[in-house]
Amino acid sequence: MALLRRPLLLLLLLLTHQFLHSWIVFGSVNEEGQKQEDFFEELLLKPLPDRKLLTHFHFQSSAPPSSSNGRHHHLFPKAISQLVQKFRVKEMELSFTQGRWNYESWGGFDSIPSSNAKPPGVELWAVFDVPQHLIDAMWKNLTHTLSGLFCASINFLESSTAYSAPEWSFPPASGNLRYGTLPREAVCTENLTPWLKLLPCRDKAGISMLLDRPSIYRGFYHSQRLHLTSTGSGSEGLDPGIILEQTLTVVLLPNSQRASLARAGEKHVQPSWSLSSIFGKEVSGKCVLAETSNVYLLLDRGLVAELKQLRKENEKSAEKVSTSENNWTNPSFELSAKPDRIFIEESSLLSKNPSILYKFEVEKYSESEPFDLVLTWKIPVVWLCQQAPLHASRFLMGSGNERGAIAISLKSTQSSEGFVGANFDDERCELQVDVFQVVPWYVKVYFHSLQVFVDQQPKAVSDTIEKIHVSPSKDKESPGVMELVLKLPCSVSSAALTIEFDKGFLHIDEYPPDANQGFDIPSAIVSFPNFHASMVFLENDSLNQSPLLSKFQEKSPVMSYTEVLLVPLTTPDFSMPYNVITITCTVFALYFGSLLNALRRRVAEEERFLKDKAAKKTGRLPLLLSKLSAKLRGRQSEPPHSTPGSSSLVNSKLVFKVILIAGLAVCWQYYFS
Amino acid sequence: MEKLKKKIGSLSFWIWVIASIIFRLILIYFPKNLNLSSRPEVSTPLTSFRRLAEGYWLKQSSMSPYAGSMYHGSPLLLPLLGPLTVKRIEGQPNHLLYSLVSVIADLVSAMLIRATGQNLQFAYLRTLESLDLVKQIEGSELRSSGNVAALIYLCNPFTIVACVGLSTSPIENMAVILCLYGACSRLIPLAAFGWVIATHLSLYPAILIIPVIFLLGRGPDAPPRKLFLQRHQQKGVLNESKLPPGFTWGPIIHFAFWALVWSVYLLVLFEPGTYGFILTVEDLSPNIGVLWYFFAEVFEFFRNFFLIVFHVNILFMILPLAIRLHHRPCYLAFVYVAICSMLKSYPSVGDSALYLGLLGWFVNELSDMQFSLFLFCGYVGVSLLSPVMHNLWIWRGTGNANFYFATAMVYACLQIVVVVEGVCAMLNHDRKLRHLITGKLHDAKS
């Protein structure tokens, strides 16, 4: 017994040892991982030229690569990490947008519009880290998961008619990319609440406390975005590290009743605002889980230049001693709180006027002393935001419900001319424009009808289009995708692309409930790969502390979305499918019956038969039989005598028929029951 | 006197031909005002010129022309007609070369129709002679059916519209006519070529193999063989030379061989997608047929059932017609073409133009057809109302789809009446011949 027990014990000991060993290894990895998981919250405020205010919330949480599955996270939302693991998502972006970013007055060149201005409705793109043949399946599952997570109808992106695979024109160009939009998706609080749930403090503490639903949805534009990047793909059983970036961009008109009343005469004075006046709330301290919690105020290049100009004028006229040492007390506006830091943009080649960034740290404030930022304008300021080199807009041409044309017009923005010239003085001056356009299948685009107009002059397609990739639409299967690289001369003042299409006709079930409203063509993306929106702020140590500022430093190509187009399609009559079915079938029956009748009829024989019948009143079968026998015998047929048994013969035939049918029915019943 | 009359006849024929061609050329020079190429009556998804241009563009940019669901025509047309869609001559209308090709195709078709018609008339006269019925028929004036048919084909507004509207149906019609001409004049390789090309282009002419077999096996239209036998039996002398020839298999095997050769030649270009597109009625854009609206409205669950029913409707009629009209293969071909143009998935006026042209071959036989005025008025009415209804529905938005569909319905009914009455009239004509013979016999006996 003892002998038998000893090896058992030994085995047990060995097992526990192994287990302990693995436990220790596991633990060490855990410890390494723990300190990496972090969360940042930031808010950027930026006055816009048309008296509005841009507020940009930026939350970033990241999870480092870690081992073992199903591990709990400290700060990172579990739903997202599970999603990344399950669908092997390399990079993904989901945005819910209501309203349209006004590129002309809100700018189109900064990194905020180029990465945060989104098309109306839902936009989703994802890059997968799986073999080609699995991507579509992964995409379908991902859309369903996201649809559940965010209470939106993202699952409509599942059908192959709704998404496309751009090859190179969409910026994170990669073969494993899928892109889909739902232009008509209504965005509301039900989408914001699950989005807030992903934040460690939700909207209970920190900057996210400001997210007051009525004031957000009262805005002119709001776009809630979720961007995730997974790094260090799961090699050696490690879960990938994930960086989750959640941004909410809202453009609001500050409620400036008082200011306008006070200075009724001065129309151009920008409305003064405070955080409490626009959101109705104040920030009472930071979210304790956040690494940093900052509020920034950004004055862009145009505004700074204008302020400098104003100050110079002031100095000339009043000959005052300038207070330029402390930048934050400016003669033209006043801030209620003293900024903790002032960043001045590293002067680049592009502009002599660097933008200025004021930083306020929320940490210092508390429940008793909440943070509120008030900006009061003293003198009217008029400035322009920096625009993308070309302003893109898109419209429909033609009337009627049969055909039409899509036109994308690119107009040069005047402000851009300066830096275009500066950029390409020595080189052969060419402006590269990428256009990415997806059209649903019921808008049947004729790609051969693509025409390019430069400065209102038609140009040969081969001269201006450097590269083109087209994947034509397949009925009820896939949308049409057009990717173009245009090379335009720098001196171009306007350019236009037109392409013709036929409107498709759908099955009665394929129309949405409000069929007469029309169908949406998703936004086209116009990007300028030669231009990069980046703002580099001179910082010494805290660079890696602020994800927002490091985001600004990234060189992202300037991108703009065009308008969503509404195409009315012809509708059939929805009320009477039965009438159509019955009438058509009647016509077919008419054809079949009348033609067969015409072929079957033998007028002469009918006449003879009727004559015979009238004369002799014999049964049909005996007549035929006698005819047959006469033929067999090769003699002339003799009129047969009327047989008394003819009726019984007919009867027996009838009986035979009945029996045959009954037999068939029995067989049928027997085999199929 | 006779000769002079004939000369005048042929002179006026040529004048009409030239006039119709000049009329086409005039229309080609004003294409912008007419915009015929985008009319749903003229260009269907299969025959549309713009889709052909799109297919050619895709091919030129090294993609499959069938990558999208734009082009569904034959791959044969792309290298032949494709270059014409992009070639432009300065100062001339855009698609002049392509239009000229259609005009030439129309002219060739008309000439082939004329030759075939003359062939048929010759055969008809010979049978009358052999039945000793020349005198009875002579009373009613005998028109030259070849000229009539060719003029009907050339001057038919439907043909003109299809030609000027840049659709590919003139080419398809030419292939069908080529096949019938070849079979009538016993040019077997030509008949096989026409049949293979026509089938390749639009699938439906495949059923023309039955009339072609009868034509090759027995020769052109004649009254039933029984009639000859009866006639000669009652005469007492059986003159073999005057009898129509019996059925011979030689030419048919010859035809099969040639058809095989041509189809092997075309097999390289075979594109199953085009036939699938024809058979499954994927495109629901309106046309003058009835299937588009039916399949736009029918419940998805029954779609396959009705697809089968409608296609089988064509197939079901093949056999009864072949049994009843086997002695008149050209007429059988006309009936088949008419049925196809009525029931095909994407019909256009070009198809109607073809069978209306072929109808001209039988002016003598069908002279006592019923309802001809009614039918003529019907055609005129439909071709005037259909664009109006389309405009009301699509462009103005004041009408709805049912308006347009109603005209399509009426059009289908008209074609049904044409087919049924035509078949009745032809059967009655045969009956009349028999009555004449038997009546004559009775006369002789008494």
Nearest CB to A508: which of B286, B297, B394?
B297
A588 falls within a domain: no
Contact A473/B at CB under 8 A: yes
Tell me the C-alpha distance between B40 and B387, whole Å.
Answer: 9
Whats the size of chain B, residue-wise?
446
Which domain covers residue A450, as residue numbers? 390-567
pLDDT score recorded for residue B389:
93
Higher-pLDDT residue of B30, A227: A227
**Sign of CA pseudo-dihedral A619, A625, A626, A631:** positive
pTM of model > 0.90: no
Residue A657 lies in a domain: no
Paired tokens of A118? 């989104």
What's the rounded Cα separation, in Å, for the pair A253 and A106?
A: 13
Q: Which of A567, A591, A613 is the last residue of a domain?
A: A567
User: Which residue from B54, B300, B434 is facing A447, i.e. has the nearest CB?
Assistant: B54
* One domain, residues A273 and A376: yes
d(CA B144, CA A125): 71
> A243 and A173: one domain?
yes
Q: Which one of A376-390, B186-200, B217-231 scores highest in mean pLDDT?
A: B186-200
A48 falls within a domain: no
CA-CA-CA-CA torsion sign (A585, A587, A590, A592): negative
Interchain contact A575–B (C-beta under 8 A): no
Q: Which two tokens stand for residue B45?
A: 């998804």
On whether any CB of chain B is under 8 Å from the CB of A590, the answer is: yes
For residues B325 and B244, give the distance between their C-alpha atoms in angstroms, rounded to a whole number. Answer: 16
**B182 to chain A, minimum CA–CA distance in Å?**
28
Report if residue A163 sits inside a domain.
Answer: yes
CB contacts < 8 A, A to B, total: 146
Residue of chain A with shortest Cα separation from B434? A604
Nearest by CB to A400, from B323, B342, B394: name it. B394
If asked whether residues A489 and A441 sit together in one domain, one would say yes
Query: Which positions in chain B touch A505 (Cβ < 8 Å)?
Result: 283-286, 292, 296
The verdict on residue A27 lying in a domain is no
Q: Which of A449, A600, A604 sits opposite B431 (nearest CB)?
A: A604
Query: Which residues 59-98 on chain A approach chain B with CB closer than 8 angstroms?
Result: none
Token pair recorded at residue B351: 């198809």
| Whether residue A401 is found in the same domain as residue A454 | yes
Lowest-confidence pick of A277-291, B285-299, B338-352: A277-291
pLDDT at A638: 47
User: Is there a contact between A506 and B401 if contact means CB atoms under 8 Å apart?
Assistant: no
Contact A505 B284 (CB under 8 A): yes
C-alpha–C-alpha distance, residues A409 and B103, integer Å: 40
Contact B431 A570 (CB under 8 A): no
**A323 and A425 in a common domain:** no
pLDDT computed for residue A329 by the predictor: 59
Beta strands A390-397 and A480-489: pairing type?
A: unpaired
* Residue A146: half-sphere exposure toward Cβ, Cα within 13 Å: 29
Whether residue A473 sits in one domain with residue A546: yes
Give per-residue burial for A565-579: e unless 16+ CB within 10 Å, then b.
Answer: bebbbbbbbeeebee
Nearest to A599 among B50, B295, B324 (CB): B324
Beta strands in A473-537 (DSSP E): 480-489, 494-503, 519-521, 525-533
Order of strands, edge to edge, in the sheet holding A443-454?
A: A390-397, A403-412, A494-503, A443-454, A457-459
The total of structural domains in chain A comes to 3
pLDDT, position B350:
92
pLDDT of the residue at A604: 67
Q: Which residues of B touch A580 (CB under 8 A)?
A: 293-294, 297-298, 402, 405
Distance (Å) from the C-alpha of residue A490 to the closest C-alpha of chain B?
28
Mind telling me how many Å the CA of A569 is from chain B's nearest CA? 9
pLDDT digits (tens, 9 = 90+) for B63-110: 888 888 889 988 888 888 888 888 777 777 778 888 899 999 999 999
| Subunit contact B298:A473, Cβ cutoff 8 A | no
Name the residue among B284, B294, B313 with its Cβ closest to that of A581.
Answer: B294
**Which residues in chain A have their CB less than 8 angstroms from residue B324's CB?**
599
Asked whether the beta carbons of B342 and B412 are under 8 A apart, the reply is yes
Among candidate residues A239, A224, A219, the one with its CA nearest the CA of residue A129: A239
A233/A258 same-domain check: no
Shortest CA distance from A592: residue in chain B:
B313
% pLDDT > 70, chain B: 91
The pLDDT assigned to A637 comes to 46
A573: nearest CA in chain B? B401
* pLDDT reported for residue A403: 87
Tokens read off for A405: 């044309």
Cβ neighbours of B401 in A, within 8 Å: 570-573
Contacts of A447 in chain B (CB under 8 A): 54, 57-58
Q: Which of A505, A580, A604 sits opposite B285 (nearest CB)?
A: A505
Check CB contact under 8 Å for B285 and A599: no
The whole-number pLDDT of residue A247 equals 93
- pLDDT band at residue B318 using 50, 70 and 90 as cut-offs: very high
| Final residue belonging to a domain, choices A532, A547, A567 | A567
State residue B297 phi and psi, 5-degree precision: -105, -25
- Chain A contacts of B50, Cβ < 8 Å? 446, 449, 502
d(CA A123, CA A135): 18
Handedness of CA A66, A72, A76, A79 (dihedral sign): positive
Residues 390-409 of chain A with CB under 8 A from chain B are: 399-403
CATH number of the CATH domain containing A493: 2.60.40.740
Nearest residue, CB atoms, B419 vs list A401, A580, A595? A595
Residue of A483, A505, A511, A591 to mutate, interface with B, max B Cβ within 10 Å = A591
pLDDT under 50 in chain A at which residues? 1-4, 13-14, 19-34, 259-262, 264-265, 319-326, 416-426, 543, 637-646
Q: Which of A570, A578, A580, A586 to mutate to test the interface with B (most CBs of B within 10 A)?
A: A580
User: Which chain B residues are Cβ-neighbours of A449 within 8 angstroms?
Assistant: 50
- Residues A531 and A457 both lie in one domain: yes
Asked if the Cβ–Cβ distance from B290 to A584 is below 8 Å, we say yes
Residue B113 pLDDT level (bands cut at 50, 70, 90): very high
d(CA B14, nearest CA chain A) in Å: 38
At residue A3, the pLDDT reads: 46
Q: So what's the pLDDT on residue B154?
A: 93
CA distance B421 to chain A (A): 8
Domain final position from A355, A386, A417: A386
Task: From residue A551, give the alpha-carbon distance in Å to each of A317, A340, A343.
Answer: 41, 21, 15
Tens digits of residue pLDDT in B351-404: 999 999 999 999 888 888 888 899 999 999 999 999 999 999 998 888 888 999
Say yes or no for a CB contact (<8 Å) between B401 and A571. Answer: yes
Distance from CA of A502 to the nearest CA of B (A): 10
Q: Quote the ipTM score.
A: 0.91
Same domain for A500 and A445: yes
Q: Do A164 and A85 reside in the same domain of the chain?
A: yes
Residue B231 to chain A, least CA–CA distance (Å): 18
Q: Do A382 and A410 belong to one domain?
A: no
What is the predicted pLDDT for the residue at A542? 52
Q: What is the pLDDT of residue A365?
A: 85
Q: Does A408 lie in the same domain as A334?
A: no
Residues A398, A404: contact at Cβ < 8 Å?
A: yes
Contacts of B425 by beta carbon, 8 Å cutoff, 6+ apart: B365, B366, B368, B369, B370
Which string of DSSP letters, residue by residue, matches A312-364? HHHHHHH-PPP--SSTTS-SSEEESS--SEEEEBPP-SS-SS--EEEEEEGGG
Shortest distance between the Cα of B376 and any Cα of chain A, in A, equals: 19
Q: What is the pLDDT of residue A21?
A: 46
CA neighbor of A88 nearest in space, from A40, A132, A29, A123: A132
Q: Do A577 and B317 touch (CB under 8 A)?
A: no
A504 touches chain B (CB under 8 A): yes
- From B156's Cα to the closest Cα of chain A, the distance in A is 25
Domain boundaries, chain B: 98-445
pLDDT computed for residue A120 by the predictor: 92
Contact list in B for residue A460 (CB cut-off 8 A) is: none
- pLDDT value, residue B197: 92
